[in-house]
Amino acid sequence: MSNTVLSLIVLLPLAGAALIGLTGFLNERFRHQEKLIGLIATSAVAIPFFIILAAFLQFTSGHGEHHDAIRFSIIPWIETAGIKINFSYHLDQLSLLMGMIVTGIGSLIHIYSIAYMHHDKGFYKFFLYLNLFIFAMLNLILGDNMAVLFLGWEGVGVCSYLLIGFWYEDMEKAKAAQKAFVANRIGDFAMIGAMFMIFGQVHSLNFADINASAGSLGDNAFWITLLLFIAATGKSAQIPLYVWLPDAMAGPTPVSALIHAATMVTSGIYLIARMHPVFNVPAAEPVLIVIAVVAAATAILAALIAIAQNDIKKVLAYSTVSQLGFMFMALGAGAYTTAIFHVMTHAFFKACLFLGSGSVIHAMHHYFDETHEHKDPQDIRFMGGLKKYMPATGMTFWISTLAIAGIPGLSGFFSKDEILANTFFSGFDHGSIYFIVWLVGTITACLTAFYMTRLTYLTFFGEARYKTDKHHPHESSPLMTIPLWILGILAVVGGYLGLPAGVFGHNAHILNHTWFHGLINNRDLEHTMHEHIALEYGLLVLAIAIAVGVVYFAYNFYAKNGLEGDEKVKKVFGSMYKWMENKFYVDEFYEKTILKPFVWAGDNIVVWFDKNIIDGVINGSASATAAVGDVIRRMQTGYVAHYALIISIGVVIIIGYLILG
Amino acid sequence: MGLLSLLIFLPLSGILLLAIIPRQYTYLFKWISLLLSGLQLTVFLAAITPRFIQGVNAGNTGVTNLSGFSLLEQLPWIMMDLGSAGKLKIEYLIGLDGLNFALVLLTLIIMVIATLSAWNTDKNVRAFFMLLLLLNSAMIGCFIALDMFLFYLFYELMLLPMFFLIGVWGGERKEYAAIKFFIYTLVGSVFLLLIMVGLAFSFTVPGNGSVHTFNMVYMMQCGPSGELLNVVKGSLFDTGGILFGMNARLIAFLITFIAFAIKIPVFPLHTWLPDAHVEAPTSISVILAGVLLKIGGYGVLRISYGIFPEGGIYFAWWIGLFGLISMIYGALVAMGQKDLKSMIAYSSISHLGYTLLGMASLQASGFNGALLQLFNHGISSAMLFLIVGVIYDRVHVRQIEKFSGLWGKMPKYAFFVLIAFFASLGLPGFNTFISELMIFMGAFSAIQAQHALPVYYPFIGVITIVLGAVYFLRTYRMMFFGVFNPVGSNNWEEKLTDLQPREYLMFIPLAILLVLFGIFPNLIISTMDKSIAMFMEHILVNGKALLEASKPAL
């Protein structure tokens, strides 16, 4: 394919945003032509999807064993002595896969949003931001150098900011937006540090150059990888920077599905997979352990919080944090392709879950409007039995829940099992701490199955906890349910790209052994697995038992107890439940120990210092200032103006005389 | 008269024109000013730029090579007899190279915008626009003068109109702010004057040892082994010259550096800036931040580093340190400001601190970045001060906390503010990102280079980008999010109207430039990087040789 056609992948979403933005800015009537706006915006994402698909077909056909990335470049960016950065992109196995996820799910969510954002007064702005987001995200995942990646990295942050604060009149939402951006910026601090440490040594920001000379980084690889991981904790919501993601649910729900579940939040995982040769340097080994431990801690912390939440989106948000933790566990075990595998399956079922929750919120919102009740349409305590009125939403939500819980045969099962297997087998050769990581991961898997079943049950099954005599909630329009079905189907079949190699043989894992072969080198665990093949079967059985057992138990538990079930859960966890309910007071902790003192010091100490010490000392020493000031003050303003005039003219005359004379 | 002189004399001719137009045609004053600024910009873009680019492509880089300057104009001006010391030659010497081209362009752009922003001036209109034109000439002259006496003349000439523009057309505490500005700058220029006189006695024109000169290019020229070519042997600023028992050249670097540091401004010499900004009318703030401060950075480059290159090497650690302090400190104080204008003033201090870090790196990318940062900050800070002007014009309040929900009330204004804020906090795709990236590249590369900066310098510097996000977004949230709530008075509902055509005329070009130079930074970089490369060689090779030759250092 020609460079021009390929360039459209990146340029079309930008053009879409520009077109909608400019026309909307200038023409008031255009802002209400929802269908036209929706069509432009969706095409700007769907066409790139098909181009990437065509590139994918070209890539897979004909080239034989060794695939060369398809490259394209738009314009030079920064060019001067020692620096040469272009707007250039590559489509290799990793970028193709991510590109299809982003534009594919992106297109579906664009379609969904046409219905969801119907009658919103910021309709055109919403699609402008959404297109802009896709543009930034494509720069992030397709850029062939760190500078273009960083352009995308920051760009998605801005779009996320704008979309979280989309309903700008609500100050809480604005605060959430600001929190997200600042937390991400803290990560960017590390990102810039890593980027320039690399540049200082490799003298290039191209991934090909960096990865080729990863070995020469030596001990610096430790610091570089640590910084890259810190950067990833910002964008991909891990401890200690995860706190922005649950708040980010303030944005419209399609945004939560697209940005805060399927795409942007996985960019930290993409970054590490993209630069994995640096992580494979021996000096970086301790960093992998750090990643695994932080990831496990994040996963279980978020899962515990999710159990005690009643806001449907909050549960899904913490679930996302927890699942991102799983992905980082895989990275920490050096299983980079496994992490990407989970990125993909998670994108399917979590996008489906979020869109499903959007459908529910949409319906509950209308229902409460009709019945004139002032209740929170996101609170699952006011729901129940919704599958009767919303069969499509209910069905796809339930499928996705089973997928995330790890029911065998569905996508989540394969990817999660692979993550746990990789952490477990890393324990043999790479430090027994991986066994603990595995254990925590396994417990988290139980918790996941439990809280997701609870969420689905309390929302869709059992008795309705709202009056249904006159009004009842309605299923959403096909524009919303069709994307749900597509994602639901993907959540079922997505896992077959990566069947467990130990059980089905080497080649059954298409992703690892055919697709990523030669591009991404995972840390080699295969012989360890072969040595302990019985254990691998054991882990598989355990995973199946946990998923099936916990889902079965949780379903029946809530079927029997209904909302009262939560009371019993409370008893099981004892005093810890209060902590879970209050998100372990992490926000409050940050607020009290970091934010408040910092802002206070800035507002008081530093400003006071500037005013009284720096300015004061210099002013004080110049008592002459006062004297001169007096003289000037005595001159009346009008005279000063004339004085200025005379001086100016005088100066001009003198200069003129000197030059001409 | 050459094309470059035209840039200086167009506004001067405007002053004469304004002086003779009768009072009843007051409305013409602003039109004449605008026309002349526009004409200057047109001349620059249509006639000067092509010649300059041609020169650059032909390998004319200027800096230490007088014949390498584009559009050079060299006229004998004053020849003074110094008796036994020989003669002193002062020249009318102006020219363009990579170090000043971008800054002249910046000045011309900002002057057009500033004239537009002064459209509603109603007090002493004639004097205002005359002073504005005088300032215009002086700033251009300052950037293109290559004779130090001429430079100094323009440098001083800038002071007067600025003093009156703040002192007469300013806000409540205008006298205080104007005096403070005046005294700070005057102290700097007295320092500069002393060094200048010393330099004139130490340097002669090539080939004639009895004719002393102010020609800065001659002062920089070094031989193949790094020895000063045109110096008077044994004079004050010859290598080995002693001042107060210390190395005179290093002292001179330090003194000129401090003189210009006041203008940049650098911590702890910065407190005049917020006061001046807060009291100055919008158009003057735009010029102050957009152009005037840049003369500080430019002076450090051309004069401190150019004439005393060994000082740049010797003091790199300290220059970097004060750059860092300004970056972080400026941002911290900006965070605590309640007045929007003084927040932006402190953000300027933070952003201009970057330039020092870039220079301290002694890397080509750092210097390119520093010069580019001067240019970029000129554009973004001009836009930021115009933004303050918009609300101040309408309700005469600038307190951040008094505003809320402006997004709903003034959506178009909100849009431009968003662009300006994101550009200022260094978002990729906007111009500031490029220069900050290059500065960090320089600083990180400097860790491994010969003249090493400590490894923690660039990391501390990067903290600034987090702080920048905090104060810009906090301000944006407080003012633009939430529900519109007219705190001031009921009239706010009517007074706070969205942008008017004249304001679009200022905001749209600036917004376009922010993006244009973010996507196509090479438009500017290509005008400077060849000169910078030559300049770097001058600093590193000649500076190193001079430093070796002048041991003991201090």
Query: Taking the domains of chain A in order of start, what are their residue ranges?
Result: 281-573, 588-660
* CA separation for the pair A527, A594 (Å, rounded): 47
* Single-letter residue type at A648: S
Q: What secondary structure, in 3-state letters, does B139-206 show?
A: HHHHHHECEHHHHHHHHHHHHHHHHHHHHHHCCCCHHHHHHHHHHHHHHHHHHHHHHHHHHHHHEECC
* CA separation for the pair A127, A13 (Å, rounded): 10
Percent of chain A with pLDDT over 90: 72
Predicted confidence band of residue A656 (pLDDT cuts 50, 70, 90): low
* CA separation for the pair B550, B540 (Å, rounded): 15
Predicted confidence band of residue A636 (pLDDT cuts 50, 70, 90): very low
Q: Do B161 and A182 touch (CB under 8 A)?
A: no
Q: Please indicate whether residue B187 or residue A157 has the higher confidence score (pLDDT).
A: A157
Residue A28: closest CA among A113, A124, A119, A169: A124
Chain A residue at shortest CA distance from B525: A80
Place of tokens 């700097």: B188
Separation of first and last alpha carbons in chain B? 46
Provide, as residue numbers in chain B, all residues whose Cβ is less than 8 Å from the Cβ of A189.
462-463, 465-466
How confident is chain B (554 residues) per 10-residue block, as mean pLDDT?
90 90 89 95 95 92 90 89 82 94 97 94 89 95 95 90 89 84 83 88 88 92 89 86 85 94 91 91 95 95 95 93 95 92 95 96 93 97 96 91 91 95 94 94 80 83 92 94 78 87 95 96 94 93 88 61
Provide, as residue numbers in chain B, all residues whose Cβ is less than 8 Å from the Cβ of A154.
427-429
Task: State pLDDT tens for residues A391-425.
Answer: 999 999 999 999 999 999 999 999 999 999 999 99
pLDDT for A63:
55
DSSP 8-state symbol, A250: G
Distance of CA B445 to the CA centre of its chain: 26
Could you give the angle at which helices A411-429 and A478-493 cross, rounded to 10 degrees? Answer: 40
Residue B314: closest CA among B532, B63, B546: B546
Q: Are B289 and B350 in contact (CB under 8 A)?
A: no
DSSP 8-state symbol, A206: B
Residue B324: closest CA among B462, B447, B438: B462
Cβ contacts below 8 Å, chain A against chain B, sum to 203
pLDDT for A71:
92
Cα torsion for B403, B406, B410, B415, to the nearest 10°? Answer: 120
Tokens of A134: 């896709």
pLDDT for A655:
53
Provide, as residue numbers in chain A, all residues whose Cβ is less than 8 Å from the Cβ of B466.
182, 185-186, 188-189
Q: Do B131 and A644 touch (CB under 8 A)?
A: yes
DSSP 8-state symbol, B46: I
Predicted confidence band of residue A638 (pLDDT cuts 50, 70, 90): very low
pLDDT for A651:
58
pLDDT for A661:
43
Tokens of A11: 């340029």
Tell me the sheet residues that pair with A78: A85
Task: Give φ, ψ of B270 to 5 degrees.
Answer: -100, -10
Task: State pLDDT tens for residues A265-306.
Answer: 999 999 999 999 999 999 999 999 999 999 999 999 999 999
List all residues 6 or more positions away from B38 whose beta carbon is below 8 Å from its beta carbon. Answer: B112
Q: Do A169 and B422 touch (CB under 8 A)?
A: no
List all residues 6 or more positions away from A119 whose beta carbon is below 8 Å from its beta carbon. Answer: none
Predicted confidence band of residue A618 (pLDDT cuts 50, 70, 90): low
Task: State pLDDT tens for residues B103-156.
Answer: 999 999 999 999 999 998 888 889 999 999 999 999 999 999 999 999 999 998
Task: State pLDDT tens for residues A315-346.
Answer: 999 999 999 999 999 999 999 999 999 999 99
Nearest chain B CA: its distance from A437 CA (Å) = 32
Provide, as residue numbers in chain B, all residues whose Cβ is less than 8 Å from the Cβ of A177.
477
Q: Do B482 and A170 touch (CB under 8 A)?
A: yes
pLDDT for B450:
64
Q: Do B459 and A193 touch (CB under 8 A)?
A: yes
Residue B211, judged by CB atoms within 10 A of its CB (0-12, 13-18, 19+), counts as middle
Q: Do B458 and A168 touch (CB under 8 A)?
A: no
* CA separation for the pair A51, B482 (Å, rounded): 41
* CA separation for the pair A131, B85 (Å, rounded): 72
The overall longest dimension of chain B from CA atoms, in Å, is 77
pLDDT for A500:
82
**DSSP notation for A347-365:** HHHHHHHHHHHHHHHHHHH
